[in-house]
Structure 1
Amino acid sequence: MTDNLALVAHAKEDVRVEALPEPQPAADEAVVEIAYGGICGSDLHYWLHGAAGQSILREPMVLGHEIVGTVRAAAADGTGPAAGTRVAVHPATEIDDGSAPYPADRPNLSPAGTYLGSAARMPHTAGAFARRVALPARMLRPIPDGLDLRLAALAEPAAVAWHGVGQAGDVAGRRVLVIGTGPIGALAIAVARHHGASEVIATDLHEHPRALATRLGATAMDATDAAGIAAVHADVVIESSGTVPGLAAAISGARRGGTVVMLGLQRAGDIAVPMATAITRELTLVGSFRFTDELDDVLAALADGSLDAGAVISHELRIEEGLRALEVARDASVSSKVLLSFSAADDDRGADA
């Protein structure tokens, strides 16, 4: 058996590829052989800053929550999929600790909820960037026949985008503006197209993501074209850059009576926002945080081809090249979604895609 290599964050600018002990599952956990993992912005933040927002790294933590693989040992308590089942992973755990009320149908808002690969709590919630991991059986979602694991690796971030677009209501027949065409913004384009938007316009600072937006069926704009963005008059704006200028651009690009979905996570603390414009245009500003059960819809749409998102994958590197993969993923001018492959080193799937 190959070493159980994993990508582990130890501190700011200290991420290592190292071998872990074999997983020892609890009764309600299955052992999953991970095939692919997508690098997320939060993984980059733990590497570059030792923190993702207010989640500060205080002990070594395996990164990664965008993962797919195959069940090698089913949960001993009989729950979840059988051995041999290909699965995607819903990385959230709902925890109601009584500290704050939240809607029962929105478990993503549970006040004490955890997420794979998160340093929000002590002990940290380990991620799944490893060849073999033990995961709660309730997290596992069978992948439909005909959907390959590589494409299925987009399911978790696509579910984030699906939830975000859904926060605007029905977008069929509407003009949608996406601010920021990183991986989530690119997937928001694909989701908006899937949901029947009449037109999608997308902005970014770099040529590579603008070219990707065009491949996904959007009209691409330079994010510095303030006059052009203001002239869009979008029915729905998906702000996915998570930047203060991006939020200002989103408000500027919305038509009167339009909706702005704040999908990109802004920095902590107060930020300057053109609220007078939002008020006088009677804009609806709505937040979007992770997702609930959209993962199942995404898997079905990827499987039947109605969600055309494969172009979002820009690179694939083996786990042995984990540090290089982080370097590639941090450069938005050359990459979109970067995948880690956890196959053995003699497998030829690890070349850049």
Structure 2
Amino acid sequence: MEELAEPQPGADEAVISVAFGGICGSDLHYWQHGAAGESILRAPMVLGHELSGTVLVGAADGSGPAAGTPVTVHPATPGRPDFRYPPDKPNLSGGTYLGSAARFPHTDGGFARRIALPTRMLRALPADLSLEVAALAEPAAVAWHAVSRADRLSDKRVLVIGSGPIGALIVAAARRVGAREIIAVDLHEQPLEIAARVGATRSLRATDTDTIAHVDADVVFESSGNPRGLASAVSAATRGGQVIMVGLIPAGEQPALLATAITRELRLAGSFRFNDEIDEVIRALTDQSLAVGPVVTHTFPVADAVTAFDVAADPRRSGKVLLDFA
């Protein structure tokens, strides 16, 4: 823990009193390994991009929500002049992201009691949506985007490999859009129990590779970020099926079952962050059509952040872990 200077907002920035921050897998990777996928730490960086809070001081230019408004945060700033990307996919624009080492200088995150953010990042919340639940808007949007990358899931058999917080939220999103069968895979019992509570109809242990290979899923979401998980995803997909790759595989070359993908005419697609799905997610969280409550297993005061990170790093005993900045 370090003392930071009070935020000095620009004209288009509001000062946010942070309420809750969710510990993401990327935060854990930076903490444990100094890198998240291809994003490698080259200097100290404040972590955190799953945030909710209240506007403490509104922007001087009058943009965005007024003081006292509860908000969640879209942590992306799109745009990099030397990148080509589809105009409707700003998530591929090479921009910056709160708490990310993808660019240098790194972009500090929001794990602080008070932060200044551009008002374009802020999403005002309905009065009946709690700030604790709103802290899940960002990871739920990642899951929502992943589900949108697949063909229509209604009445389909879906397999989710890796049932940590993102995997569980993919299960919840797939259930919301009418998947007929949702099979969750993980190494540990705790994530599988959470997946069942948010919509999984069946669960398998990741070590049961033979059974996984015979699932014959219409769509497989790989959210473990493990090369073995990707191999299981390819082997489990039905002929003509889809594999949506969500988990951040380690940087560098990785083995893959490409012969199987070719002969089954599988469509492998990446899924990276999200765009405006967070607005749909906020509505779904508010009307409770997206089940997320069981995903949060622990909340720690920020003074106990080290304990919180230890617990978050152990999938045998935790799902999503929140920091309470109050």
Note whether the superposition's TM-score is higher than 0.5: yes
2:256 aligns with one of 273, 277, 282: 273
- Cα deviation digits, residues 107-132 of structure 1 (max 9, x gap): 00003x00001122222111000110
Mapped partners of 1:243, 1:66: distance in 2: 23
User: What secondary structure does 1:18 align onto?
Assistant: coil
* 1:29 maps to 2:13: yes
Q: Residue in 2 aligned with 1:13?
A: none
The reply on whether 1:216 has 2:198 as its aligned counterpart is yes
Letter in structure 2 aligned against 1:82:
A
The within-5 A match list for 1:193-212 is 193-212=175-194
Q: Letter of the aligned partner of 1:128 in structure 2? A: G
Map 1:20-169 to 2 at 5 A. 20-97=4-81, 99-111=82-94, 113-169=95-151
Match 1:232 to one of 187, 193, 215: 215
Which piece of structure 1 moves more, 291-300 or 58-67?
A: 58-67
TM-score (norm 1): 0.90
Matches of 2:268 and 2:38 in 1, distance apart? 23
* 1:296 paired to 2:282: no
> Which consecutive residues of structure 1, in runs of 5 or more, have no partner in the other structure?
1-16, 344-353
CA contact (8 A) 2:72 2:122 kept: yes
Cα separation, 1, equivalents of 2:283 and 2:65: 17
Query: What is the aligned counterpart of 1:192 among 156, 174, 192?
Result: 174
CA contact under 8 A between 2:38 and 2:250: conserved in structure 1?
no
For 1:95 and 1:214, how far apart are their aligned partners in 2? 39
Specify the alignment match of 1:8 in structure 2: none
Report SS of the residue matched to 1:33. strand
Structure 2 Cα separation of the partners of residues 292 and 30 of structure 1? 22
Q: Which residue identity does 1:151 align to in structure 2?
A: V
Which amino acid is the alignment partner of residue 56 of structure 1?
I
Superposed displacement of residue 60, structure 1: 2.1
Q: Deviations over 1:27-60 (max 9, x none)?
A: 0100000000000111111111222233222222
Cα shift at 1:169: 2.4
Aligned to 2:242: 259
Structure 1 consecutive aligned stretches of length 4 or more whose deviation exceeds 3 Å: none
More divergent stretch after superposition (113-122 vs 130-139): 113-122
> 2:233 is aligned with what amino acid?
A
Alignment partner, residue 315 of structure 2: 332
| Contact 2:160-2:182 at 8 Å conserved across structures | yes
Please state whether the residue corresponding to 2:109 is helix, strand or coil: coil
Cα deviation, residue 145, structure 1? 2.5
Q: Of the candidates 151, 158, 161, which is equivalent to residue 176 of structure 1?
A: 158
TM-score, normalised with respect to structure 2: 0.98
**In structure 2, how many angstroms separate the alpha carbons of the residues matched to 1:309 and 1:121?**
31
The CA RMSD measured in Å over matched residues stands at: 1.0
2:3 is paired with a residue of what secondary structure? strand
1:268 deviation in Å? 1.1
Q: Counterpart amino acid of 2:127? A: D
Report the Cα distance in structure 1 between the residues aligned to 2:236 and 2:126, rounded to whole angstroms: 38
Return the alpha-carbon distance in structure 2 between the equivalents of residues 313 and 244 of structure 1: 27
Quote the offset at 1:214 in angstroms: 1.5
Residue number among 224, 233, 241 corresponding to 1:250 in the alignment? 233
Report the Cα offset of residue 75 of structure 1: 0.6
Deviations 1:258-302 (A, max 9, x none): 111001111111111111111111111111000000000111001
Aligned letter for 2:173? V
